[in-house]
């Protein structure tokens, strides 16, 4: 499940503990502008829980230095081995412009960032003289014993192929239909083939969880905005249903899994609409 960043930071500990108690496998946090910082929130959620995986999807690459991201991720991975999942992406273009960080080439920046981050986390000494990432004999003083996965949150065809080439997984956002997931998987696999990769590549898909009429209305508002925006997601919307009620056997969750999703993450459609807590065990 997702704890949306718009919710007050003071609620994070209790919500993370409750998510673990009712049986969710993973807790996802977003680093959206201009809410609470993602690393601070992830560290708090990890410290407040015992076994649930905590994932950060995503950190915008344009505002984070590769070496310092690696330091933060490595610290969390050493403090809570096997429990942290890192995510990196382009960042929302308008937000990146707003803070003066929109790069001339989003693709080049993201690929250089992910390549350097994964190498540092694996314990390598990195020398890089890229367009954006420049590292001279950089190595982590405390590399993690259990190297955390690094997923990339992207949408378009070239970015999806990039993810297949250089990342451990891909995060697809909460307006992803089964048709879009299949198409995205094809693009990712094309990138993997071009890079000669045969290792596993996890597909994480966010899905709105509408447990009542208010939630369904909120999902429809988001879909209406998407339909007018174009792009590969809008082109592959297809017919509903467009939200999950929760649980492994939900028809929409099963349809996403059949399309290639390895993990489906439930998302409250708006901050004012609670996710709705299932009985213990039914969230898994």
pLDDT digits (tens, 9 = 90+) for 30-40: 999 999 999 99
Whole-angstrom distance, CA of residue 255 vs CA of residue 205? 11
Q: What's the mean pLDDT in 107-117?
A: 98
Which residue, of 106, 121, 153, is where some domain finishes? 153
If asked whether residues 225 and 145 sit together in one domain, one would say no
If asked whether residues 172 and 145 sit together in one domain, one would say no
If asked whether residues 123 and 264 sit together in one domain, one would say no
203 touches 188 (CB < 8 A) = yes
Predicted confidence band of residue 220 (pLDDT cuts 50, 70, 90): confident
Write a three-state SS string for 76-113: HHHHCCCCEEEEEECCCHHHHHHCCCCCCCHHHHHHHH
Query: For 160-186, what is each residue's pLDDT tens digit?
Result: 999 999 999 999 988 888 999 999 999
The better pLDDT of the pair 173, 73 is held by 73
If asked whether residues 205 and 273 sit together in one domain, one would say yes
CATH of the domain at 190: 3.20.20.30
If asked whether residues 25 and 120 sit together in one domain, one would say yes
The better pLDDT of the pair 236, 52 is held by 52
If asked whether residues 148 and 72 sit together in one domain, one would say yes
If asked whether residues 50 and 143 sit together in one domain, one would say yes
**Confidence at residue 279, expressed as pLDDT on a 0 to 100 scale:** 39
Instruction: Supply the range of the domain harboring residue 136.
Output: 1-153
Residue 61, pLDDT > 50, answer yes
Q: In the chain, how many domains are there? A: 2
**Confidence at residue 140, expressed as pLDDT on a 0 to 100 scale:** 98
Residue among 168, 179, 199 nearest 252 (CA):
179
Which residue, of 118, 153, 188, is where some domain finishes? 153
Whole-angstrom distance, CA of residue 186 vs CA of residue 171? 14
**Confidence at residue 237, expressed as pLDDT on a 0 to 100 scale:** 60
Mean pLDDT across the chain, nearest whole number? 90
**Confidence at residue 281, expressed as pLDDT on a 0 to 100 scale:** 35
If asked whether residues 273 and 208 sit together in one domain, one would say yes
The better pLDDT of the pair 23, 235 is held by 23
If asked whether residues 202 and 272 sit together in one domain, one would say yes
If asked whether residues 14 and 96 sit together in one domain, one would say yes
Residue 237 backbone phi and psi in degrees, to 5:
-65, -50
If asked whether residues 179 and 271 sit together in one domain, one would say yes
DSSP code for 62: G
Q: Label the pairing between strands 169-172 and 202-208.
A: parallel
If asked whether residues 212 and 133 sit together in one domain, one would say no
Residue 283, pLDDT > 60, answer no
In angstroms, what CA-CA distances link 263 with 140, 237, 268?
30, 20, 16
Which residue, of 153, 184, 206, is where some domain finishes? 153
Query: For 232-267, what is each residue's pLDDT tens digit?
Result: 666 666 545 556 766 678 888 999 999 999 999 998
Residue 118, pLDDT > 60, answer yes
Question: How many H-runs (helices) and E-runs (strands) does the chain carry?
Answer: 10, 10
């Amino acid at each position: 499940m997702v704890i949306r960043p718009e919710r007050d930071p003071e609620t994070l500990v209790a919500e993370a503990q409750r998510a673990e108690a009712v049986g969710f496998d993973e807790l996802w946090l977003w680093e959206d502008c201009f809410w609470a910082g993602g690393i601070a929130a992830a560290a708090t959620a990890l410290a407040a829980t015992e076994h649930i995986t905590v994932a950060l999807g995503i950190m915008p690459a344009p505002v984070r230095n590769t070496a310092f991201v690696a330091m933060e991720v490595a610290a969390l991975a050493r403090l809570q081995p096997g429990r942290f999942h890192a995510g990196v992406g382009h960042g929302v273009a308008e937000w990146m412009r707003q803070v003066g960080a929109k790069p001339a080439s989003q693709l080049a920046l993201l690929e250089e960032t992910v390549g350097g981050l994964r190498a540092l986390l694996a314990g390598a000494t990195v020398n890089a003289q890229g367009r954006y990432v420049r590292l001279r004999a950089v190595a982590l003083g405390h590399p993690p014993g259990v190297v955390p996965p690094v997923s990339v949150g992207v949408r378009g065809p070239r970015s999806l192929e990039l993810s297949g080439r250089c990342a451990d997984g891909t995060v697809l956002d909460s307006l992803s239909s089964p048709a879009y997931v299949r198409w995205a998987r094809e693009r990712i696999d094309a990138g993997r083939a071009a890079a000669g990769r045969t290792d596993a590549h996890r597909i994480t898909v966010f899905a709105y969880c509408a447990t009542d009429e208010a939630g369904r209305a909120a999902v429809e508002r988001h879909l209406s905005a998407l339909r007018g925006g174009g792009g590969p997601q809008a082109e592959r919307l297809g017919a509903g249903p467009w939200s999950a009620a929760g649980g492994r056997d939900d028809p929409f969750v099963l349809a996403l899994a059949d399309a290639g999703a390895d993990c489906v993450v439930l998302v409250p459609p708006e901050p004012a609409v609670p996710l709705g807590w299932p009985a213990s065990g039914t969230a898994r």
